[in-house]
């Protein structure tokens, strides 16, 4: 098995180090209105002396700059990403074509409803499709990402308790929860209390019973959970939670494993968010944008954010803010519409049978890879797995860590799996449903080759990667002495610095 350099190697200058004063990559027509004397229209103190000192680069060098940057990125179109809990599936080209249709991409949010019936109908259909997939009553499309959906969901739950004259101050989260869960509790003014997991990765019901009380607003569960198992106790968990008047929240990060097989609403969930950039194939874009639609059960509908897209009695579509108990708005305008168009396109492309096929193939792929790796890579939780699984590599005496193995995978053209979460020193592996058996085999062979390397030449693994434009970076200094912006060596100052020096 050979390693392959997949990225350009040579050093590459910053934007600010290329170009020359006077260059510009855009040509605008000259203004055809009479110029206004600025000092007559605006007090002089408010006018800029100089425009911002942005780079000045010609078009071809600009193109080459961003081409070279693009060559220095792993991406789904070129690389396999077995990245647990992130669901890095293929992003179909058709999504991009539809989202770029002028009738979707060139709409202003304040156009009359009569002029935008098509997009409103699309959003309404998506709203209904997502409620059906969730097995819940109604969905809001407004939240901008998964964590924003968690926050929105918790605000809805808080509003529900308030409407019953209760203030509940704590939220329970399993110790294996994504970091966003406790962080979302904090942003909603609630304390998050961890609940222990059992040795087999399931929620420890005794610990849950001990911690849930009349001050508990919700329990946030991820199911299948982050170790890749479906917690079959979930109906009992719902009962325990509901008996104390609390709500069951589902982090929908792992919906890929259960699409069309089971629905959160059917296993007792009151409120959940989706991650469209995981489950519904919208691209990750180097970190975003996502979208985090939130679905709720009947008793929580009245608290959903406004405005909501609705179908009126006359069959037209529009926005309604008629929801007096709504938590309000969580985002400007209506949501990440361009992302939602892609999610709609994907759901309609694969349809109900395709959604179920996604879950089946995602689970098949994870179990196949696990079965092929289990002799060399210990797995603390027994199969069958859902869409992902966890291994805790154990190569005693080699000095090789989970991070080293992950970094060595880069040399084989594979993106590292999720590391050290949710178990210390683990690799969390999620192949997703869109990979072919050949790609899965390539990954397995790379993992086995690395296991051999660890036994024969551990240094090559400990010092990996070797094929990348840079080798391991000093992340400690990057945080201790942060350099988060470029500065011109000739001491050109920012406007703020100028104002302070005068």
Q: Which of 342, 348, 315, 285 is nearest to 141 (CA)?
A: 342
Q: Which of 218, 248, 245, 253 is nearest to 235 (CA)?
A: 248
> Tokens 């789904």, residue?
76
Among positions 199, 483, 490, 501, the unique one binding other proteins when judged by CB under 8 A: 483
Give the largest Cα separation in the chain, rounded.
Answer: 79
Site string for other proteins, 395-434 (x = CB under 8 A): -----------xx--x----xx----x-----------xx
Per CB under 8 A, the segment of 101-109, 212-220, 393-401, 450-458 that binds other proteins is: 101-109
Among positions 80, 82, 83, 139, the unique one binding other proteins when judged by CB under 8 A: 83
Measured in residues, the chain has a length of 502
Looking at beta carbons only, is 1 or 47 nearer to other proteins? 47
CB-based contacts of 409, cutoff 8 Å, min separation 6: 415, 416, 417, 446, 447, 450
Among positions 1, 5, 96, 425, the unique one binding other proteins when judged by CB under 8 A: 96
Among positions 5, 189, 378, 399, the unique one binding other proteins when judged by CB under 8 A: 189
Separation of alpha carbons 306 and 320, rounded Å? 7
Identify whether 307 is preceded by a cis peptide bond (ω within 30 of 0): yes
Separation of alpha carbons 273 and 140, rounded Å? 9
Q: Which of 212, 162, 151, 219 is nearest to 186 (CA)?
A: 151
Looking at beta carbons only, is 283 or 393 nearer to other proteins? 283
- For the CB of residue 79, give the shortest distance to other proteins in the complex, in Å: 8
Looking at beta carbons only, is 455 or 477 nearer to other proteins? 477
SS3 216: strand
Among positions 5, 97, 239, 320, the unique one binding other proteins when judged by CB under 8 A: 97
135 contributes a contact to other proteins by CB under 8 A: yes
Among positions 47, 166, 213, 452, the unique one binding other proteins when judged by CB under 8 A: 47
Separation of alpha carbons 215 and 167, rounded Å? 7
- For the CB of residue 269, give the shortest distance to other proteins in the complex, in Å: 11
Among positions 210, 425, 437, 457, the unique one binding other proteins when judged by CB under 8 A: 437
Among positions 4, 112, 165, 491, the unique one binding other proteins when judged by CB under 8 A: 112
SS3 238: helix
Instruction: For residue 247, list its beta bridge partners.
Output: 218
Calculate the alpha carbon distances from 421 to 49, 162, 409 in Å: 51, 35, 18
Of 259-288, binders to other proteins (CB under 8 A) are: 260-263, 266-267, 275, 277, 281, 283-288
5 contributes a contact to other proteins by CB under 8 A: no
Separation of alpha carbons 163 and 157, rounded Å? 10
183 contributes a contact to other proteins by CB under 8 A: yes
Per CB under 8 A, the segment of 131-139, 206-214, 394-402, 422-430 that binds other proteins is: 131-139
Site string for other proteins, 323-362 (x = CB under 8 A): ----xxxxxxxxxxxxx-x---x-xxxxxxxxxxxx-xx-
**Half-sphere exposure (Cβ direction) of 335: Cα atoms closer than 13 Å:** 33
490 contributes a contact to other proteins by CB under 8 A: no
Q: How many CB atoms lie within 10 A of CB 99?
A: 20
- For the CB of residue 124, give the shortest distance to other proteins in the complex, in Å: 11
Among positions 371, 392, 448, 449, the unique one binding other proteins when judged by CB under 8 A: 371
Among positions 1, 5, 78, 378, the unique one binding other proteins when judged by CB under 8 A: 78
- For the CB of residue 408, give the shortest distance to other proteins in the complex, in Å: 11
Site string for other proteins, 296-315 (x = CB under 8 A): ---------x----------
Of 443-472, binders to other proteins (CB under 8 A) are: 465, 468-472
Q: Which of 341, 437, 412 is nearest to 101 (CA)?
A: 341
Kindly give the pairing relationship between strand 389-391 and strand 427-429. Answer: antiparallel
- For the CB of residue 485, give the shortest distance to other proteins in the complex, in Å: 4
Among positions 1, 5, 73, 455, the unique one binding other proteins when judged by CB under 8 A: 73
- For the CB of residue 396, give the shortest distance to other proteins in the complex, in Å: 26
What HEC string does 140-194 produce? ECCCCCHHHHHHHHHHHHHHHHHHCCCCCCEEEEECCCCCHHHHHHHHCCCEEEE
Q: Which of 409, 373, 367, 406 is nearest to 386 (CA)?
A: 367
Looking at beta carbons only, is 393 or 416 nearer to other proteins? 416
Looking at beta carbons only, is 1 or 100 nearer to other proteins? 100
Looking at beta carbons only, is 349 or 455 nearer to other proteins? 349
- For the CB of residue 332, give the shortest distance to other proteins in the complex, in Å: 4
Per CB under 8 A, the segment of 39-47, 212-220, 240-248, 296-304 that binds other proteins is: 39-47
Inter-axis angle of helices 180-187 and 146-163, nearest 10: 50
Inter-axis angle of helices 437-456 and 402-411, nearest 10: 120
């Amino acid at each position: 098995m050979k390693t392959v350099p997949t990225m350009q190697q040579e050093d590459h200058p910053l934007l600010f180090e290329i170009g020359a004063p006077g260059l510009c990559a855009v040509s605008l027509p000259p203004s055809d209105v009479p110029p206004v004397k600025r000092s007559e229209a605006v007090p002089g103190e408010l006018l800029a002396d100089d425009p911002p000192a942005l780079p000045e680069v010609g078009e071809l060098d600009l193109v080459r700059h961003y081409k070279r940057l693009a060559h220095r990125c792993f991406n789904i179109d070129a690389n396999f990403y077995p990245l647990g809990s992130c669901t890095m599936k293929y992003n179909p080209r058709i999504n991009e074509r539809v989202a770029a249709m002028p009738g979707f991409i060139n709409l202003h949010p304040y156009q009359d409803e009569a002029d935008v019936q098509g997009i409103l109908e699309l959003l309404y259909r998506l709203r209904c499709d997502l409620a059906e997939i969730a097995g819940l009553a109604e969905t809001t499309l407004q939240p901008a990402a998964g964590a924003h959906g968690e926050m929105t969901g918790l605000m809805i739950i808080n509003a529900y308790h308030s409407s019953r004259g209760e203030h509940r101050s704590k939220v329970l989260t399993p110790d294996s929860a994504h970091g966003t869960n406790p962080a979302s509790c904090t942003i909603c003014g609630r304390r998050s209390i961890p609940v222990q997991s059992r040795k087999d990765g399931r929620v420890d019901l005794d610990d849950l019973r001990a911690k849930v009380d009349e001050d508990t607003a919700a329990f946030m569960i991820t199911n299948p959970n982050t170790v890749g198992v479906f917690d079959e106790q979930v109906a009992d968990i719902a009962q325990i939670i509901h008996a104390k008047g609390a709500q069951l929240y589902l982090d929908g990060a792992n919906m890929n494993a259960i699409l069309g097989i089971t629905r959160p609403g059917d296993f007792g969930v009151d409120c959940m968010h989706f991650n469209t950039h995981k489950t519904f194939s919208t691209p990750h874009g180097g970190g975003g944008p996502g979208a985090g639609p939130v679905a709720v059960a009947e008793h929580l509908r009245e608290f959903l954010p406004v405005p909501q897209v609705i179908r009126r009695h006359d069959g037209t579509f529009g926005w309604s803010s008629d929801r007096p108990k709504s938590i309000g708005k969580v985002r400007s305008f209506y949501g990440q519409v361009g992302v939602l168009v892609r999610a709609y396109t994907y759901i309609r492309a694969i349809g109900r049978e395709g959604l179920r096929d996604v879950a089946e193939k995602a689970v098949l792929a994870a179990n196949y890879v696990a079965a092929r790796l289990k002799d060399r890579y210990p797995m603390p939780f027994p199969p069958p797995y859902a869409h992902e699984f966890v291994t805790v590599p154990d190569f005693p005496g080699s000095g090789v860590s989970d991070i080293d193995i992950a970094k060595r995978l880069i040399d084989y053209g594979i993106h590292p799996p999720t590391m050290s979460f949710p178990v210390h020193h683990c690799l969390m592996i999620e192949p997703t449903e869109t990979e072919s058996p050949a790609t899965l085999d390539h990954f397995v062979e790379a993992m086995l080759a690395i296991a051999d390397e660890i036994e024969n030449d551990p240094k090559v693994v400990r010092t990996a990667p070797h094929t990348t434009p840079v080798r391991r970076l000093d992340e400690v200094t990057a945080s201790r002495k942060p350099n988060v912006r470029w500065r011109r060596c000739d001491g050109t100052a920012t406007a703020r610095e100028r104002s302070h020096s005068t």
